[in-house]
Structure 1
Amino acid sequence: MKIALLLLAAGGSRRMGRPKQLLPWKDTILLDHALQTAVSSKADEVILILGAEAETIQKSLKRGRFNILIHKEWEKGLGSTIKKGVSYLETFDPLPQAVLIMLGDQPLLGADHLNSLIDQFKKGGKGIVATDYGAKLGVPAVFSREYFTKLARLQGDSGAGVLIASNVHSATGIPAGKRTADLDTPEDYQSLTQTHQKSDS
């Protein structure tokens, strides 16, 4: 069973005020940390999607087992970035059985959580295996290929969470505890670095 992983990192980081993909994180940068997590998982193929500041960010990344997809229309929103990635996957022959969608700004979520999602999906039963945030299910999440068409129709800022919510009967969740924090603002970054930079998350 082939599972592809889309790492979404195309946004303009408006609330952060600078490219958060390049923020220092431990001994590397935030996006490199996310890539290390992705390629360390059980996903068969990793595709990184860049958009804003793509050239600058690409030059700052270490080489690894991943492909890069440039989304020139990244300003159209998260949904358009997912659409770009899934449309790319639909050119594969054979088509992957599923896609794991993750964000580049959740550094506390490790490969162990991604593997838990993948393992649960491979057990069968549900077409969507998502991260349980308590009040809702969200990404990182694995979607079977029966959802590729719907994912490719996402527009604007409507992300994968919208699709999960509208298909909750076909979804199951895996809790990630307090590791789901993401980095959107300078305050988020300062808070998280103070508590986790020097520890193994």
Structure 2
Amino acid sequence: MTLLLAAGEGSRFGGAKQLADIGGEPMVRRVARALLDTDAPLIVVTGAYADEVEDVLDDLPLSVVRCEDWQLGMGNSLAAGANELMRMFPHASAALVALADQPLLSTAVFRAMLERHRHAPDRVLATAHDGVQGPPALFPRDCFTTLATLSGPKGARAVLQREAARVELFAAGNVVDVDTPDDLRTVQASLGRKPHS
């Protein structure tokens, strides 16, 4: 199971960063396609700009849940997604959580995390960037109830801290969060610099 959090307001960005153009398509659609390429079911959590975000995902084979209290923080969005996951997929063994503002992550990273889960089903998997553990992160089924009660701006950080003894860090490579217009320019420039085959 994969969960894509796309409910934020983008206050530092100054608008709907989910819709920012990355390589000719909206950022949220790019990340959704990378997750869908793992062949795992995908639930997208929307909130701010829900209509516009859902419009650009309309033709993709995924489910959408709206987080009505998205403005309270990422924890609330994650809780909305976890509750929907438990409702739709009661036998899911894990949830791979990704963010709509990390557009450089590849399907290979998501596949590797899901594959690692198959071999070590009790492990919590997280990626580290700038010394901080965070998403994309994979939580086994026994974390679902905790995820479903999260609230506030810190997202799943408290869960990662509480489960520290079984957290396994993943090297994800291009974990760039697009939080500001400068971040977006950095991402667009890095895509433009890719060597031609």
Q: TM-score, normalised by structure 2?
A: 0.92
Measured after TM superposition, the shift of residue 62 of structure 1 is 4.9
Say if 2:43 and 2:85, in contact at 8 Å, map to a contact too.
Answer: no
Give the partner amino acid of 1:162: A
Give the partner amino acid of 1:8: L
- Alignment partner, residue 39 of structure 1: 36
1:100 aligned counterpart, secondary structure: strand
Q: 1:25 aligned to 18, 22, 25, which one?
A: 22
Say if 1:126 and 1:172, in contact at 8 Å, map to a contact too.
Answer: no
What is the alpha-carbon root mean square deviation over aligned residues? 1.7
Q: How does 1:104-143 map to 2 (within 5 A)?
A: 104-124=100-120, 126-133=122-129, 135-143=131-139
Q: In structure 2, what is the Cα distance between the partners aligned to 1:40 and 1:64?
A: 11
Give the partner amino acid of 1:34: V
Give the partner amino acid of 2:75: G
Unaligned 5+ runs, structure 2: none
Q: 2:81 aligned to 64, 82, 85, which one?
A: 85
- Alignment partner, residue 181 of structure 2: 186
Q: 1:97 aligned to 93, 96, 111, which one?
A: 93
Q: In structure 2, what is the Cα distance between the partners aligned to 1:126 and 1:194?
A: 39
- Percent identity reads 27
User: Deviations for 1:152-184, whole angstroms, at most 9, x for unmatched residues?
Assistant: 12111121122112211011111123x011100
Say if 2:104 and 2:187, in contact at 8 Å, map to a contact too.
Answer: no
Q: In structure 2, what is the Cα distance between the partners aligned to 1:91 and 1:198?
A: 43
Say if 2:67 and 2:80, in contact at 8 Å, map to a contact too.
Answer: yes
Correspondence 1:76 to 2:72: yes
Measured after TM superposition, the shift of residue 87 of structure 1 is 1.0
Q: In structure 2, what is the Cα distance between the partners aligned to 1:93 and 1:53?
A: 26
Q: TM-score, normalised by structure 1?
A: 0.90
**Aligned pairs, how many?**
195
Say if 1:101 and 1:141, in contact at 8 Å, map to a contact too.
Answer: yes
Q: In structure 2, what is the Cα distance between the partners aligned to 1:123 and 1:23?
A: 36
Measured after TM superposition, the shift of residue 126 of structure 1 is 3.7
Give the partner amino acid of 1:7: L
- Alignment partner, residue 51 of structure 1: 47
2:15 aligned counterpart, secondary structure: coil
Give the partner amino acid of 2:46: L
Give the partner amino acid of 2:184: Y
Q: Which 10-residue stretch deviates more, 156-165 or 105-114?
A: 156-165
Q: 1:76 to 1:110 in 2, by over 3 A?
A: same
Q: In structure 2, what is the Cα distance between the partners aligned to 1:92 and 1:56?
A: 24
User: Deviations for 1:125-155, whole angstroms, at most 9, x for unmatched residues?
Assistant: 6431121336232111111110011111211
- Alignment partner, residue 7 of structure 2: 10
Q: 1:160 to 1:199 in 2, by over 3 A?
A: same
Q: 2:163 aligned to 156, 162, 167, which one?
A: 167
